[in-house]
Amino acid sequence: MKDLVFDLIEQEKIRQSEGLELIPSENYVSKAVLEAAGSILTNKYSEGYPSFEGVPGWSEEKIAEEILPNFRYYGGQINVDRIERLAIDRACRLFKADHANVQPHSGANANEAVYFAWLNPGDKVLAMNLGHGGHLTHGSPVTRSAKIYEFIPYGTNLATGDIDYNEMEKLALDHDIKLLLVGYSAFMKVPDFKRVAEIRDKAEQKWGHEILLMADMAHVAGLIAAGIHDNPLDFGFNVMTTTTHKTLRGPRGGLILSKGRVGSPLKKLEEKNLENIPTMIDKAVFPGTQGGPLEHIIAAKAVAFGEALKPEFKTYAKNIVKNAKTLAEELKKRGFKLIGDGTENHLILADMMKSFNINGKTYEKALDAVGLTLNANALPGDTGGAFKPNGVRLGTPAITTRGLGEKEMIEIAKWMAEVAKICQKADENGDENPEKTYAEDFASLRDEVKNLTKNFPVPGI
C-alpha cells in the first residue's frame, strides 16, 4: 500500500510540470543530482572532516584513489571522505577560493557559522537592510544572530535601486564594526565590490583592527561560477557564503568559501586573524554550530559543482540574464513599474501598487491559479507589511533550466499583464477573490500555460 506522502509527491510532480516557476530562489536539479541526494549516503554518520592535506591541485583520479588521514569521529569514512574532498576541490575551482566548507545545511547556517567564527557577542556588523532587499540572517530582529550581535543596516538608493555606498561608508566610519557584509535576497544590481573593499580599508584604518569582508551571494553564485557576474573573492573579500541551489542548480544546502591559510580543524589556533579564517570557519561549522553533515547532500553538491564546471553551464548562466532582461523589458511595455527600472542579474522586483493598484499577495495568489509561481515581496519604504506588501519578486533561473527563451518571456509577460488587469478590475469592484469571479478567464490562461509547458519538460521528472 502506497503512503500518502508518495501520492503528494506525485501531485507536486504534476504541479511543477504543468506550471512555470518564476521564484528567483528556486530551480530544477539534474537527474544525477536527484540520484545523489536520494542515495544510501543518507545512512552514514560522518562528524568531523576529511583531511585536506595535499588536496588542492590534485586530479580527481588522485582524490578518488588516495587514502589520507581523516578528522572524523566515526569509522568507515573512506568513501564519504573522497566524495567530500571532491566537493571541496570542485567548489574551490569554481570560485577561485583557497578553501571551501561544504557541510552547512543551508545558507542561513553558513552565515551563522561565519559570524560565530569571527565575532564576539555584542560586536557590530554592517549589513543591508531587510526592507531594502537584505536577508533575514543579515540582522532581522526576529533572528538569533540579531540577539547576539549588533547589526547596523545600510540601504539602497530609492531612485536607482543600487546600494547607497555613501551611506555605507559613513556608517562604517561612524561605528566600530567587526564585519562588513554585502548580501541580499531581493536586489537586481551587480555590487561594486571594489568600492566596498575600499570602504572596509578606510574603516580598518579608522578603528585600528581587522574587519572581515563577507559576501552572501546565495542568489547569484551560479552567475559568479559561470564568470558572468563579478566574484567578490577577486576584490579582497575574505569570505563568500552561498546556498547551493538557486542559480547554482544544486541540492538545497549551504557553502562557505574563503581566502587564507588552510589548517587542521583539530589543532588549536595560535591567533585569531583573517589569514586563519578558513580554519576558524571549519571549527565554527563543526563542532561550533552543526553536528553530523548530510553526506548524501554533499554528494549532490559535488555533482552539481561538477556540472557547473562544464562549458554548457556558462551558456545556461548567460541565458538566465538574457531572459531576465527580456522579461523585464516586456513587463515594462505592459505597465509594470520595476525597481531599478530593470535588472542586471536574474531577479526582477515589480511594484504592483504603483503599477496596477493591487498588493503583491493578491497578485501572487492570482498567478498561482494560472500556473505561474512567484512571491510577494516588500519594497523599500513598503507600508503593506509582510503579508500584503506592495511588490512581487520573480526571476528566470528555473524557466531557463527548462529551456525557455526570449520568445517565451514575451508570452509570460503577456499572461502576467492579463492577470494583473483582472486583479485590478476586481479591486475596483471590491472583489477580494478574482480567481472565483473570473474563473473562466483564469481557466483559459491556465490552459495556455499548460500547453506551453508540454514543450519544456522538468529535468528528472
Q: Given the residues 82, 252, 301, 393, select the one marked as catalytic.
A: 252
**2 catalytic residue (yes or no):** no
Q: For the chain, give the secondary structure using H, E and C.
A: CCCHHHHHHHHHHHHHHHCEECCCCCCCCCHHHHHHHCCHHHHCCCCEEECCCCCCCCCHHHHHHCCCCEEECCCCCHHHHHHHHHHHHHHHHHHCCCEEECCCCCHHHHHHHHHHHHCCCCCEEEEECHHHCCCHHHCCCCCHHHHHCEEEEECECCCCCCECHHHHHHHHHHCCEEEEEEECCCCCCCCCHHHHHHHHHHHHHHHCCCCEEEEECCCCHHHHHCCCCCCHHHHCCCEEEEECCHHHCCCCCEEEEECCCCCCCCCCCCCCCHHHHHHHHHHHHHHHHCCCCCHHHHHHHHHHHHHHCCHHHHHHHHHHHHHHHHHHHHHHHCCCEEHHHCCCCCEEEEEHHHHHCCCHHHHHHHHHHHCEECEEECCCCCCCCCCCCCEEEEECHHHHHCCCCHHHHHHHHHHHHHHHHHHHHHHHCCCCCHHHHCHHHHHHHHHHHHHHHCCCCCCCC
**252 catalytic residue (yes or no):** yes
**204 catalytic residue (yes or no):** no
Q: Given the residues 82, 85, 178, 246, select the one marked as catalytic.
A: 246
Contact assessment for residue 219 and residue 25, using Cβ atoms and an 8 Å cutoff: yes
405: left (phi over 0), alpha (psi -120 to 50) or beta: beta
Q: Given the residues 18, 35, 47, 406, select the one marked as catalytic.
A: 47
User: Rounded distance, CA 156 to CA 129, Å?
Assistant: 8
C-alpha cell at 67: 587514502
Question: To 10 degrees, what angle do helices 193-207 and 165-174 make?
Answer: 20
Q: Given the residues 18, 35, 45, 365, select the one marked as catalytic.
A: 45
Peptide bond preceding 265 in cis form (omega within 30 of 0): no
**441 catalytic residue (yes or no):** no
**435 catalytic residue (yes or no):** no
Q: Given the residues 243, 326, 362, 401, select the one marked as catalytic.
A: 243
**85 catalytic residue (yes or no):** no
Q: Mind telling me the catalytic residues?
A: 45, 47, 216, 243, 246, 252
